[in-house]
């Protein structure tokens, strides 16, 4: 593994792959960076690096689409792989398996460095000088409720008793130069920590970190068990100790190589309107809600800082790459812990984090003797729909390992030819849901409950009605296939 310890070394690595789109002409500070970033995701161009932004100080930059799909068709997941210290040619399942495997590695706590050694403390702004207006924070979508000051930054909070430090990504909207408002969902970890501060009656200290080491950003965006410190997991995952530094004005530690760190406190009431925002399901938002205010008290930053920008929308962007991979890794961990025979789990980008494919080996019946495929599907749902990460996934497909879950043509073929019209499926009624998945009815959103389903796509066992594919791989003798391949034009 090669741990890229800051955003700039990551950008250099992407540049070496030809996966950075340098934009040196002046762009406006409002919608243009968002529009270019969104189109770059949809056409799989290089990650846009905006180097000349109207209204921003010279040297201030924006990096768009930091962990979206690569512009290199031979290595589509290169941005996520490089972020996590993996080879850029890693496949999606390679990444999922690495994320799951790191759950079993001893956690590696960070090391604290002196403030004088911390690049994030090259510039320190206090009081009235700590103003968000200094930074190029654009609109993401034309219908958003404001400029979103957090789309890929890490929010750091700690429980009042200090037992748990949580790092996460949540959307945070700029209100003015000294205030932001963030979506704090009670069921998510940041919401659980905030609730403890509310009960204590004290504002919650927070740090919003823009542009840390890319592994930190990715891990902040995936589900981990409650009360696991993400920084310790990053160390285990990449095999390197993460360097932190004490924040300037609050009792938290922050990544020492970060581009920008915003420090302050969060109100104990939902006192400011947040939203709307175009989300990962692919639709422009229309709703808003009262959420806590994030007061800005201190800002530190590197010289010539880089602000990362994610613009969520139709697949594929960071929601459909790293977040979906994190959900798949969490599902894989739980299914293996339940001793179910599973080779890998995958969330296809095109399904916008609404589908999960559970891939099982051809000999799964040997490991589950006497269990029908319908019963297997029920076991899978019983395990998955009790986990927190599956709050967002309404549909699971149980498939044989002759299907490549990362190949959407394979997936569509399997669903089309292996789902019975009346359905072999396990339906789980009255499951907990939130508004972010796009497939439910208003009455279900209002009640917070709706159905979830595991579709059984498993073929019969060989010799019991299972047909071979009419494909090159399965439709011809091995000797003939070898001859064909040996003589295939270069």
Residues with a catalytic annotation lie at: 279
Burial of 107 (0-12, 13-18, 19+ CB in 10 A): middle
329, 100 contact by CB (below 8 A): yes
The alpha-helical segments, DSSP class H, found in 135-188 are none
d(Cα 93, Cα 96) in Å, to the nearest integer? 5
Contacts of 61 (CB under 8 A, 6+ apart): 49, 50, 51, 53, 136, 304, 305, 306, 307
Token pair of 327 as six digits: 């959900």
Q: Which of 368, 130, 134 is nearest to 249 (CA)?
A: 130
Rounded Cα–Cα distance for residues 230 and 153 (Å): 14
**Closest to 179 (Cα-Cα) out of 46, 297, 296, 352:** 296
Query: Token pair for residue 178?
Result: 């000294």
Task: Give Cβ neighbours of residue 482 (< 8 Å, ≥ 6 apart).
Answer: none
| Cβ-contact 278, 312 below 8 angstroms | yes
Q: Residue 119 class from Cβ within 10 Å (0-12 exposed, 13-18 middle, 19+ buried)? A: buried
- Whether 348 contacts 405, CB under 8 Å: yes
The Cα 66–Cα 59 span in angstroms is: 19
Helices (H), 112-206: 189-200
From CA 99, how far away is CA 97, in angstroms rounded? 5
Per DSSP, the three-state class of 98 is helix
The C-alpha atoms of residue 65 and residue 71 are separated, in whole angstroms, by: 11
Copy the structure tokens of residue 344. 């890998």
Q: Give the whole-angstrom CA distance, residue 450 versus residue 435.
A: 11
Give the Cα separation of 424 and 444 in Å (integer). 24
Nearest to 41 by CA among 64, 20, 60, 63: 64
Instruction: Tally the residues of the chain.
Output: 490
CA distance 9 to 258: 12
CB burial of residue 117 (10 Å; 0-12, 13-18, 19+): exposed
């Amino acid at each position: 593994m090669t741990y890229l310890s800051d955003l700039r070394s990551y950008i250099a690595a992407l540049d070496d792959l030809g996966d950075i789109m340098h934009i040196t002409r002046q762009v406006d500070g409002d919608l243009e960076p968002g529009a270019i970033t969104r189109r770059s995701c949809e056409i799989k161009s290089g990650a846009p690096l905006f180097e000349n932004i109207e209204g921003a100080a010279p040297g201030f930059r924006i990096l768009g689409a930091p962990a979206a799909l690569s512009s290199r068709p031979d290595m589509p997941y290169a941005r996520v792989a490089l972020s996590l210290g993996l080879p850029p040619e890693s496949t999606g399942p390679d990444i999922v398996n690495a994320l799951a495997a790191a759950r079993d590695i001893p956690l590696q706590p960070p090391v604290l460095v002196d403030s004088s050694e911390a690049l994030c403390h090259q510039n320190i702004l206090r009081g009235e000088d700590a103003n968000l207006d200094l930074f190029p924070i654009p609109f993401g979508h034309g219908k958003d409720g404001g400029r979103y000051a957090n789309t890929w930054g890490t929010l750091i909070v700690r429980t009042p008793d200090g037992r748990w430090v949580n790092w996460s990504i949540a959307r945070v909207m700029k209100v003015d130069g000294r205030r932001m408002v963030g979506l704090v969902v009670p069921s998510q970890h940041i919401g659980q920590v905030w609730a403890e501060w509310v009960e204590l009656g004290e504002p919650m200290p927070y740090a919003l970190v823009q542009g840390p080491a890319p592994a930190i950003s990715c891990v902040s965006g995936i589900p981990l068990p409650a009360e696991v410190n993400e920084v310790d997991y990053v160390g285990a995952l990449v095999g390197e100790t993460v360097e932190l530094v004490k924040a300037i004005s609050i009792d938290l530690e922050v990544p020492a190589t970060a581009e920008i760190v915003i420090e302050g406190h969060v109100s104990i009431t939902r006192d400011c309107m947040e939203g709307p925002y175009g989300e990962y399901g692919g639709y422009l938002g229309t709703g808003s809600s009262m959420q806590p205010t994030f007061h800005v008290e201190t800002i530190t930053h590197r010289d010539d800082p880089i602000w990362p920008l994610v613009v969520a929308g139709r697949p594929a962007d960071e929601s459909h790459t790293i977040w979906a991979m994190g959900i798949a890794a969490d599902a894989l961990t739980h299914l293996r812990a339940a001793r179910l025979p599973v080779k890998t789990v995958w969330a296809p980008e095109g399904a916008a984090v609404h589908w999960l494919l559970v891939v099982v080996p051809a000999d799964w019946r040997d490991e589950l003797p006497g269990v029908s495929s319908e019963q297997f599907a029920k076991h899978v749902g019983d395990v998955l729909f009790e986990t927190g990460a599956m709050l967002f996934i309404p549909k699971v497909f149980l498939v044989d390992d002759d299907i490549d879950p990362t190949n959407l043509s394979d997936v569509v073929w399997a669903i089309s030819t292996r789902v019975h019209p009346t359905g072999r499926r396990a339906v789980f009624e009255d499951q907990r849901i939130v508004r972010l998945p796009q497939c439910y009815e208003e009455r279900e959103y209002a009640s917070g409950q709706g159905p979830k389903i595991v579709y059984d796509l498993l073929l019969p066992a060989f010799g019991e009605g299972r047909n071979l594919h009419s494909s090159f791989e399965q439709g011809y003798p091995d000797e003939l296939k070898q001859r064909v391949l040996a003589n295939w034009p270069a």
